[in-house]
Amino acid sequence: MFSKIIATGSYLPENIVTNRDLEQQIDTTDEWIRSRTGIEQRRIASIDQNTSDLAYEAANRAIDKAEIAAESIDLIIVGTCTPDVVTPNVGTIIQERLGIKNSAAFSVEAACSGFIYAMNIADKFIRSRDASCALVVGADTLSRITDWTDRNTCVLFADGAGAAILQPSDTPGILSSELGADGAYGDLLYVPYGTSRKPEQPKPDDYCLHMKGNEVFKVAVKTLESITLEALAKQNMNINDIDWLIPHQANTRIIHSVAKRLGIPIEKVIITLSHHGNTSAASIPLALDEGIDSGKIESGDTILMLGFGAGFTWGTMIIKL
């Protein structure tokens, strides 16, 4: 028994914030942002939109493409680090809105690797026959934990959601999936305070993302290269066996550096962050959905997805569409 993606879906908020808009708010320029990140604009959720709203829209689009009844879904997993509330979890919130009863529904918090983590879990549920139809969503509203006066972070982060529907298959769909983490790097990208840890004298940025950009860049490039080579070796594959590389959409400099080190042509890499920014757990499913909808990715293609996020967490997944 294998699990296979039968459909994908995505959603981006309507509100667009361009680099020119940010020039009016902070000490930065369009050229500075483009040259260092590759981002031209980002999507920001409206004040009345929560992470579950974005996740629900992406899930609905995936369900429509799959041409299935929502009631047939018996497993929902959402990767997110920006849930609406502490509880109920985002999975159960969209479960109720989709009208699904009695399915397992939960969220996974692994930052930008959240979608890969969630997919890995869903794959195991289906392979063990504990689920027959899984909805996996990566969704985040990073704008809610961004300090919009900090030019080193606010130019990067944004909001969005992407989803995939998995079902059992007699032929391989998900070929392999590997997860990893190293908490020793936790102080390179973090939010200082949260639910159980509270500041004695709160400051405006206590609940916002803090990042040591140069250090994150170095660790990300090195880690993404090594986990890719490990994933390929375990499958007795090499980079030439991969039709498309879909990395976490964090920064084009990271993506280009990883592609160069792996020896994969940049034309075989799906890059979408120029028009939606770093959407954390949503970035990989957003890129996957766009690659499919654009006609670049076709049925039968072999895809390598790479996740890397705060924690640090990381994951790889090789799939045949």
User: Do 15 and 146 share a domain, yes or no?
Assistant: yes
Please tell me the distance from the alpha carbon of residue 191 to that of residue 146, in angstroms, as a whole number: 10
Q: What would the mean pLDDT of 109-122 be, rounded to a whole number?
A: 98
Burial (0-12, 13-18, 19+ Cβ within 10 Å), 236: exposed
Q: Which of 142, 170, 198 is the last residue before a domain boundary?
A: 170
Of the listed 81, 208, 248, 276, which one is catalytic? Answer: 248
238-265 tens-digit pLDDT: 999 999 999 999 999 999 999 999 999 9
Please tell me the distance from the alpha carbon of residue 139 to that of residue 82, in angstroms, as a whole number: 8
187-206 tens-digit pLDDT: 999 999 999 999 999 998 99
User: Do 44 and 147 share a domain, yes or no?
Assistant: yes
Question: Percent of the chain scored above 90 by pLDDT?
Answer: 99
Domain residues for the domain of 249 are 175-181+211-320
> Lowest-confidence range among 80-84, 149-153, 278-282, 287-291?
149-153
Which pTM was predicted? 0.97
Is 191 part of any domain? no
Tokens of 315: 């994951």
Is 114 part of any domain? yes
Of the listed 50, 81, 112, 154, which one is catalytic? Answer: 112
Is 204 part of any domain? no
Q: Is residue 310's pLDDT more than 90?
A: yes
User: Do 145 and 34 share a domain, yes or no?
Assistant: yes
CATH code of 139's domain: 3.40.47.10
Place of tokens 């860049």: 217
User: Do 261 and 119 share a domain, yes or no?
Assistant: no
Average pLDDT, the chain: 97
Is 132 part of any domain? yes
Tokens of 261: 């080190």
Q: pLDDT value at position 311?
A: 95
Is 187 part of any domain? no
Is 136 part of any domain? yes
Sheet containing 159-169: order of strands: 2-11, 159-169, 134-141, 75-79, 104-108
Q: Is residue 1's pLDDT more than 90?
A: no
User: Do 142 and 229 share a domain, yes or no?
Assistant: no
β-bridge pairing 302-309 and 244-247: parallel
170-192 tens-digit pLDDT: 999 999 999 999 999 999 999 99
Count of domains for the chain: 2
User: Do 159 and 261 share a domain, yes or no?
Assistant: no
Q: Is residue 285's pLDDT more than 90?
A: yes
Which helix (H) or strand (E) is 176 found in, with range?
Answer: strand 174-181
User: Do 166 and 215 share a domain, yes or no?
Assistant: no
Backbone CA torsion sign across 261, 301, 131, 81? positive
Q: pLDDT value at position 123?
A: 98
Q: Is 154 labeled as catalytic in the residue annotation?
A: no
Is 206 part of any domain? no
43-74 tens-digit pLDDT: 999 999 999 999 999 999 999 999 999 999 99
User: Do 166 and 31 share a domain, yes or no?
Assistant: yes
Burial (0-12, 13-18, 19+ Cβ within 10 Å), 123: buried
Q: Which of 170, 191, 223 is the last residue before a domain boundary?
A: 170
User: Do 151 and 26 share a domain, yes or no?
Assistant: yes
User: Do 150 and 12 share a domain, yes or no?
Assistant: yes
121-139 tens-digit pLDDT: 999 999 999 999 999 999 9
Is 188 part of any domain? no
Q: Residue 70: how many CB atoms within 10 A of its CB?
A: 18
Distances (CA, A) of 193 to 82, 145, 154, 205, 317: 13, 11, 18, 9, 32
7-43 tens-digit pLDDT: 999 999 999 999 999 999 999 999 999 999 999 999 9
Q: Is 112 labeled as catalytic in the residue annotation?
A: yes
Question: Percent of the chain scored above 70 by pLDDT?
Answer: 100
